[in-house]
Chains A and B, each alone.
Chain A
Amino acid sequence: MARILAIAQKDLRQNLRDRKTFLFLLLMPAAFTLLFGFAFGKGSDGRLAVGYLDQDGGLFSPALKNLLQADLRLVEQPGQSQADLTQQVRDGKLAAAVIIPAGYSQQILADSPLKLQVIVDPASSASATLQAALLSDVGRLLMAVSAARAEGEVDAPAVESRLAAAQREAQAASQTASQADAAKPSPLQPSQTSPGMMAQFAIAGLLVASQLLVEERKTRAMQRLLTTPARRAEILLGHSLSIFVLILAQLLLLILFGQIVLKLDYLRLPWATLLLAVTTAACVAGLGLLVGALARTDEQAIIFSMICMFLFAGLGGAWVPLEVTGSAFQTLGHLTPVAWVIDGFKNIIARGLAFDSVLLPAGVLSAYAALFFALAVWKFRFE
């Protein structure tokens, strides 16, 4: 046990002496979270500024506008045409624009709803935010209409009262009152990007950890360890422990950053947050040992780590929320640990769910940790 601690302590000392560690593990994720979180959400409220044009003026457009306003900062100027909006989007004055087409309400009643018209650069990240907001808001409207219809009274007040009831329910589910207005997060607000970047840059820890192992093998210090009474299991555990502690510390600092700077309520369920942080760190520790086991050179350590990071972060929804993707992509994404990290943290900070909602993500992450660790032990070379 003393040897395991000595090895872990030695590794941590080496890591902390390396400036790269702070850059990759703390500065970059904090910077990226801020960048993604606020750059696209123009205005201090962090919502997208979206032009709004109502060509319908029908029964349901006020209700829809109401819904959209929770997620988007709607900019409505009298007398504007579709062409004006297009120009403003192109000039970057607006992130996007939404047009409620004429006859929209009518077509809902006729049971063949029209699509909303959207003006946005499809390559911009605002596009994903907007699509996600529209998808969920239109969905809510249609559900309220069909609920009203089931009771035979399809008029605006009936629909609006159903929407209001649904809203109250959502608020009740989220336990703190202060959460209420943030109950419907838009995808690129900090509640999305903070867990995403946290997961992505926890994997960046591989870089630091695996390079250490490669270096130890290269200088033959690892072989020298085997001439001492230290056992192989102690050496592997010592190295894993150091990665675990490093990543756990990283996550806890980023969680504090989220709580204090981004006003995300990670501490609403402190034990759930801790459980996720611990299982995430264990998962990265296993993966770090695996990359350290497989990489023969420094370059390989960097390449393997980067592949893991980009593959897992990209597929797992750190950049584009899985909610706005198709079901095939969602399934694929959930093959990566990152998706489960994000799911778990979002259940806490955005979805207002209870402690047991993190048990599945934490369980999956533990299983990944065990898998990576087993592979690493199997493949580990000491020379």
Chain B
Amino acid sequence: MNAIEIENLQKSFGTRRAVDGISLAVRQGEIFSLLGPNGAGKTTTLAMLSTLLRPDGGDARILGHSIKHESAAVKASLGVVPQDIALYMDLTARENLDFWGRMYGLRGGALRQRVDEVLEMIGLTERQKDPVGKYSGGMKRRVNIGAALLHKPKVIYMDEPTVGIDPQSRRSILDSVVALKEQGMTVLYTTHYMEEAQELSDHLAIMDSGRLIASGTQQELIQLVGGLDRIRLAINGDVERVLATWRTITGVKQATVEEGLLMLLVEDSNQALPRLFESAAAAGVRITSVEIQEPNLEAVFLHLTGRALRDG
């Protein structure tokens, strides 16, 4: 049974096609990740799925309710964690949760009890009486998530919930996402961190420039890279110039720069590496480190788009 079914969803802003006809299905009780770089259209997709934006074309069903025609039913079954920290900074965590709980129709003792539970879940019971504005980035993110959980939604969207926080807070958020799944919730999770998508997802889809360029389980996606090897190299020279030459070397399928390192997909590293060293020597640069890795989602993205998931 599918919790979310998206059919040919489209949205343009002026001439820019932010979401350009995507279709996918999310099964009930799974974590589904939408992985894509900045501007891929993840937030726009979620905005349509939460009835904030009206699609230009296509439709989607959330637990069987059309986002176009049954927006009230869709909203009632959803929890939405926005990409921005959409909270009241001058109110305490408790007051914020209490308010959002009331927006979802909770009140009285049930609300109080649920706020207690959620505070516990996001680990902020101790600090519940401090204004959210005084919290660290990670704590704010956790309240941002908590505010979407009060009514125990069956389906929850999380839009890049770990952006800009310390590793410890990120760990705790990832753990709580898994905990939500264990409680039977369906999670649609967007991110541009490949590691997160890899760790969390049952299924995932890769999005770029408004389109889904691949979707499936992690295994299925990695098979797309087939027998290719992934090589990361550091050099002590002009990366861009070397990149241009290496793209023309036989056996090199894709080459790009990520965080100052050269990242290559090659057919066979045994044959490719000597050629790379040769070419480097000819160009007068030294290769200072080499790492041969298993293909991962990063490699899939590179393979399909010729670009790195994260630029710089």
Residues of A whose CB lies within 8 Å of any CB of B are 2-3, 6, 10, 13-14, 17-18, 216, 219-221, 223-230
Give the complex CA separation of A230 and B82 in angstroms: 16
Q: Which 5 A-B pairs have the closest CB atoms?
A: A224-B86, A6-B102, A228-B103, A227-B80, A220-B86
Contacts of B86 in A (CB 8 A): 219-221, 223-224
- CB nearest neighbor in A for B53: A383
Most chain B Cβ neighbours within 10 Å, of A216, A225, A228, A229: A228
Closest-CB distance, B275 to chain A (whole angstroms): 51
Known: A228-B104, A229-B72, A230-B103. A14 touches B91 (CB 8 A): yes
Give residues of chain B (81-123) contacting chain A, Cβ–Cβ below 8 Å.
82, 84-91, 95, 99-100, 102-105, 107
Q: Are A221 and B52 in contact (CB under 8 A)?
A: no
Q: Are A227 and B50 in contact (CB under 8 A)?
A: yes
Q: Are B50 and A220 in contact (CB under 8 A)?
A: no
Contacts of B100 in A (CB 8 A): 224, 228
- CB nearest neighbor in B for A222: B86
Q: Does B75 contact A (CB under 8 A)?
A: yes
Q: Are B50 and A219 in contact (CB under 8 A)?
A: no
Q: Give the dominant DSSP class at B's interface.
A: loop
Contacts of B80 in A (CB 8 A): 224, 227
Known: A219-B89, A227-B52. A3 touches B82 (CB 8 A): no
Contacts of B52 in A (CB 8 A): 223, 226-227
Q: Are A229 and B87 in contact (CB under 8 A)?
A: no
Contacts of B265 in A (CB 8 A): none
Q: Are B51 and A219 in contact (CB under 8 A)?
A: no
Q: Are A2 and B102 in contact (CB under 8 A)?
A: yes
Contacts of A224 in B (CB 8 A): 80, 82, 86, 100, 147
Contact of A3 among B75, B84, B90, B102 (CB under 8 A): B102
Closest-CB distance, A381 to chain B (whole angstroms): 13
Give the complex CA separation of A347 and B284 in angstroms: 95
Give the complex CA separation of A14 and B105 in angstroms: 21
Supply 15 A–B pairs (Cβ within 8 Å), ascending by A: A10-B95, A14-B91, A17-B90, A216-B88, A219-B84, A219-B88, A221-B88, A223-B52, A223-B82, A224-B100, A227-B51, A227-B78, A227-B80, A229-B76, A229-B104
Contacts of A226 in B (CB 8 A): 51-52
Instruction: Apart from A14-B88, A227-B51, list 10 A-B contacts with CB within 8 A.
Output: A2-B105, A3-B102, A219-B88, A220-B86, A223-B52, A224-B80, A225-B103, A226-B51, A229-B76, A229-B104
Known: A219-B84, A221-B86, A229-B75. A13 touches B104 (CB 8 A): no
Contacts of A13 in B (CB 8 A): 91, 95
Most chain A Cβ neighbours within 10 Å, of B76, B80, B102: B102
- CB nearest neighbor in B for A17: B90
Give residues of chain B (241-277) contacting chain A, Cβ–Cβ below 8 Å.
none
Give the complex CA separation of A230 and B105 in angstroms: 9
Contacts of B105 in A (CB 8 A): 2-3, 229
Closest-CB distance, A331 to chain B (whole angstroms): 44
Chain B residue total in the interface (Cβ 8 A): 26
Closest-CB distance, B151 to chain A (whole angstroms): 9
Closest-CB distance, A278 to chain B (whole angstroms): 27
Contact of B88 among A6, A10, A228, A229 (CB under 8 A): A10
Closest-CB distance, B188 to chain A (whole angstroms): 13
- CB nearest neighbor in A for B101: A6
Contact of B75 among A10, A216, A227 (CB under 8 A): A227
Give the complex CA separation of A228 and B103 in angstroms: 6
Q: Are A6 and B99 in contact (CB under 8 A)?
A: yes
Give the complex CA separation of A128 and B99 in angstroms: 52
Closest-CB distance, A238 to chain B (whole angstroms): 10
Closest-CB distance, B43 to chain A (whole angstroms): 11
Contacts of B84 in A (CB 8 A): 219-220
- CB nearest neighbor in B for A10: B99
Give the complex CA separation of A3 and B75 in angstroms: 15
Contacts of B107 in A (CB 8 A): 2
Q: Are B91 and A229 in contact (CB under 8 A)?
A: no
Contacts of A228 in B (CB 8 A): 75, 100, 103-104
- CB nearest neighbor in A for B46: A227
Contact of B90 among A2, A14, A225 (CB under 8 A): A14
Contacts of A10 in B (CB 8 A): 88, 91, 95, 99
Q: B42-85: contact bitstring with A at CB < 8 Å (1 yes, 0 no)?
A: 00000000111000000000000000000010011010101011
Most chain B Cβ neighbours within 10 Å, of A3, A227, A229, A230: A227
- CB nearest neighbor in A for B83: A220
Q: Are B90 and A229 in contact (CB under 8 A)?
A: no
Closest-CB distance, B280 to chain A (whole angstroms): 49
Known: A228-B100, A229-B75. A18 touches B82 (CB 8 A): no
Q: Are B87 and A219 in contact (CB under 8 A)?
A: yes
Give the complex CA separation of A14 and B90 in angstroms: 7
- CB nearest neighbor in B for A6: B102
Q: Are A221 and B51 in contact (CB under 8 A)?
A: no
Closest-CB distance, A66 to chain B (whole angstroms): 60
Give the complex CA separation of A230 and B84 in angstroms: 19
Give the complex CA separation of A226 and B74 in angstroms: 12
Give the complex CA separation of A3 and B106 in angstroms: 10
Contacts of B90 in A (CB 8 A): 14, 17-18
Contacts of A221 in B (CB 8 A): 86-88
Contacts of A220 in B (CB 8 A): 82, 84, 86
Give the complex CA separation of A228 and B75 in angstroms: 6
- CB nearest neighbor in A for B107: A2
Contacts of A2 in B (CB 8 A): 102, 105, 107
Give the complex CA separation of A17 and B132 in angstroms: 14
Give the complex CA separation of A230 and B51 in angstroms: 13
Closest-CB distance, B82 to chain A (whole angstroms): 6
Contacts of A229 in B (CB 8 A): 72, 75-76, 103-105
